[in-house]
Amino acid sequence: MTTNPIRRIGVIGAGTIGASWTAYFLSRGLEVVCSDPSPGAPELIRRMVENAWPVLAQLGATADADPSRWSFEPDPVTAVQGVDFVQESAPERYEVKLPLLQAISAALPPAVIISSSTSGLLVSRLSEGSTHPERIVIGHPFNPPHLIPLVEVVGGSTASEAAVQGAIAFYRAIGKHPIKVMKEVPGHISNRLQAALWREAVHLVAEGVGSVADVDAAISEGPGLRWALMGPHATFHLAGGEGGYPAFMHHLMPAVTSWWPYLGNPELTPELQARLIAGVAEEVGGQTTRDLAAARDARLTALLVARAKA
């Protein structure tokens, strides 16, 4: 929407997602102004940037990247003064996001894109009552944003195509992999795929087909490795051999679709929730969530480096 280069970012909502966005933006040589009502937000941002920086440097931070080039302003309206792009990452509730987006939108020139990190809300609802609602889009990252390349960009029925393309161009320019969600649906694309897989994972445990650990391993030690390299359509294209997707449709598709009627729709009763929680506790073997996240991020970094080299 603007021909001026985007150099100064407003991160509005600086919890875990916003702080991770901040670290990534800094690694791309951008200046960041953060805002969050929590008194602990500045320390969270400082710790996130400090912890993420060695990894971001390994992944190729730009020559002008500076981990100290961020500031904090509690008032979001003041924070967005003079920014070129806004990444909003407030809590996932309309009653929180709507007044916040209305306030910052009223304070910004119409050419500045406002992108919400929401994982499942609708942009047509989020832009209600805002000044220039056509410049409000969804820019949904995957957690943690400073590592995962994917960003889902949604314009819905309210955002202009210029805003959608402007957000896509910005994310691509800073090394992300943006995709355009062409139709507004709850959960966008990636979370719907996650939800569908998790529903069947829950069903398999509920029906006694496999333990929590074995159901997890059925993905992480199998198709999940392929999915790190290509998605389900391209994977089944290869499953068709030299004939590709047409051969898959002819030879294998009938067998795969014959399983569809048997896929589950489990009810997450308190008893089933307790079984799942106990199963995960047994699977992780006493490791804390912080330990698990650190191990995940180290492996993610190695995978990203290997993919880049390949």
pLDDT per residue of the chain (310 residues) written in tens, 0 to 9:
434 489 999 999 999 999 999 999 999 999 999 999 999 999 999 999 999 999 999 999 999 999 999 999 999 999 999 999 999 999 999 999 999 999 999 999 999 999 999 999 999 999 999 999 999 999 999 999 999 999 999 999 999 999 999 999 999 999 999 999 999 999 999 999 999 999 999 999 999 999 999 999 999 999 999 999 999 999 999 999 999 999 999 999 999 999 999 999 999 999 999 999 999 999 999 999 989 988 999 999 999 998 888 8
Q: Please tell me the predicted confidence (pLDDT) of residue 2.
A: 37
Residue partners of 265: CB distance under 8 A and separation at least 6:
199, 203
Domains of the chain by range and CATH? 8-181 (3.40.50.720), 190-309 (1.10.1040.10)
Q: How big is the chain by its Cα radius of gyration, in Å?
A: 21
CA–CA dist 92, 242 (Å, integer):
45
Instruction: Tell me how far CA of residue 181 lies from CA of 150, 176, 243, in angstroms.
Output: 12, 15, 29
CA–CA dist 247, 156 (Å, integer):
35
Give yes or no for a contact between 201 and 215, defined as CB atoms under 8 angstroms apart. Answer: yes
Q: Please tell me the predicted confidence (pLDDT) of residue 308.
A: 86
The Cβ of residue 259 has, within 10 Å, a number of other Cβ atoms equal to 9
CA–CA dist 112, 6 (Å, integer):
10
CA–CA dist 202, 288 (Å, integer):
22
* pTM of the shown model: 0.92
Q: Please tell me the predicted confidence (pLDDT) of residue 251.
A: 93
